[in-house]
Structure 1
């Protein structure tokens, strides 16, 4: 499954609450009707005052061509001008988003663990946007991440679903990958991975501690945005 992940930052002058109101009330009904979208989900931060972004929007497509047709290629932020709903959605973002501060990512999702049968509505989610360590190629990064780190991360206490997302066009991607860890309970997430304002894993959690120590082997930590939030599945037609 391919998906377009947009990290959302509100316009100057808008409060987080005003941003959410416009996003949920005005923009969502447009975005979920974009041609080719088979699943649309959103993540709202659990602690907006400490979050690096105001939210995450994720649009899923069955194939990459359908995604590119609707939303533009990896190197473009422009929606296809001929696509009605995509064009309408692109025009509406100017009403509530700071466009130049909105990183985005197009990638292929790989499900590494799933104890909830894909039902993520209402789950708490730690999304980490990964940048490789200096001196590493993207290919070396992916090999280490998938081979060495993933077996550790998916065993972190409390994790019920774990996805990795690889960029479809690494040369144009803003990140080397996205790691998504899901928990059924917010406190379990905080216990394992730290709170919204912290990047430290709980030192008493064995597997989480091991995962935190291992990231130093392949990630540029200070360049790794993250967001802790609760997922809302708007539509799922898969």
Structure 2
């Protein structure tokens, strides 16, 4: 499954509460009907004062062609859609988003663990936007992430679902990948991964601590935003798709 991940930053002069209200009540009904969208998530930060973004929006498509056809080129922070609803959604984002401060990521999602039958609605989510360590190529980073780190991360205490998202156009992507870990409660997430606000974390659980130690082997931690939020599934037309 291919998805467009938008890390949302509110427009200057708008409070976080005003931003969330507009996003949920005005923009979401448009975005979930963008041509080709088969699944749509909104993720609201659990601690807005310490969050690096005001929210995360995830739009899923069955093919990369469908995604590009709706949302434009793979590399840009912005996009210029020609489809009717997608164009309406693009026009609407100017009402509440600081577009130039909003990273976007286009990638292919791989479900590495699923103990919830694909139902992520209401789960708490830790999204790590990964930047490779200096001296590594993207290919070297990906090989290490897939073969060494993922087997650790999916067994972190409390994780009930785990995705890795690989950029479809690494040369133009703002990140080398996205790692998404889901927990049933916020307490489980904090217990495994540490405080809600920091880019880094200091876990005490055995596997989580081992995973934290391992990230120094392939990630530039200080350049890797993390986002903790609660996910709401706004649309799901993926019945029959493996992992959903």
Look up the SS of the partner of 1:159 in the other structure: coil
Which residue of structure 2 aligns with residue 187 of structure 1?
A: 187
Partner of 1:111: 111
1:79 corresponds to which residue? 80
Q: Distance in 2 between matches of 1:91 and 1:187?
A: 38
1:65 positional shift? 0.2
The whole-number CA distance in structure 2 between the counterparts of 1:90 and 1:201 is 39
Hey, what's the Cα distance between the residues in 1 that align with 2:62 and 2:183?
26
Name the Cα RMSD after superposition.
0.7
Name the SS of the counterpart of 2:229 in structure 1.
Answer: strand
Kindly provide the CA deviation profile for residues 42-85 of structure 1, in whole angstroms up to 9, marking residues without a partner as x. Answer: 110000001000000000000000000000121232132x2101
- After TM superposition, the score normalised by the length of structure 1 is 0.98
Please list every run of 5 or more consecutive structure 2 residues that lacks an aligned counterpart in the other structure.
239-244
* Residue-by-residue CA offset, 1:167-214 (whole Å, 9 max, x unaligned): 000000000000000000100100100121232232x31100000000
Alignment of 1:1-238 (within 5 A): 1-76=1-76, 77-80=78-81, 82-198=82-198, 199-202=200-203, 204-238=204-238
1:138-169 deviation digits (Å, cap 9, x = unpaired): 00000000000000011100000000000000
Judge which range, 167-176 or 70-79, deviates more. Answer: 70-79
Aligned residues: 236
Report deviation, 1:36: 0.2
Match of 2:242 in 1: none
Unaligned runs of 5+ in 1: none
Q: Deviations over 1:6-35 (max 9, x none)?
A: 000001110000000100011011101100
Q: Normalising to structure 2: TM-score of the pair?
A: 0.96
